[in-house]
Amino acid sequence: EDKVVQSPLSLVVHEGDTVTLNCSYEVTNFRSLLWYKQEKKAPTFLFMLTSSGIEKKSGRLSSILDKKELFSILNITATQTGDSAVYLCAAANAGGTSYGKLTFGQGTILTVHP
């Protein structure tokens, strides 16, 4: 059974702090690892990672994948209150009729205080 586990489940920081969110996965026919941000609405896409060791970066957010150790991290530097959200990690399947299926982790609830 495919499984994705995120840690921590919740995190409270102050503006300006740097945070690291973790995601480990066990997925047969692994294709890629995706990160989403969910505020009080639909999840919105942040990153997709397919290759180990290559950092994806967007502003203060960055992410990297380790396919040997089966994990990914999402870093947010100089956090702002607008970063408060649930961050979801998902692993995509590459195999046959399951191609493109996503298995989601539980999410990390990030709260950034002023």
Distance CA 62, CA 16 (A): 16
Gap between the Cα atoms of 5 and 17, Å rounded = 24
Q: Which of 58, 68, 69, 97 binds another protein (CB under 8 A)?
A: 97
Residue placing its CB nearer to another protein in the complex, 7 or 80: 7
**Least distance CB 60 / another protein (angstroms):** 21
Amino acid at 112: V
Residue 80: which H helix or E strand, with range? none
Q: Residue for token digits 């994705």?
A: 4
Q: Should residue 56 be labelled a site residue for another protein when binding is judged by CB under 8 A?
A: no
Residue 84 is encoded by which pair of tokens?
């408060």
Which of 13, 17, 84, 101 lies at the binding interface for another protein (CB under 8 A)? Answer: 101
Q: List residues near another protein by CB under 8 A.
A: 4, 6, 9, 31-32, 34, 41-45, 48, 50, 88, 90, 92, 97, 99-107
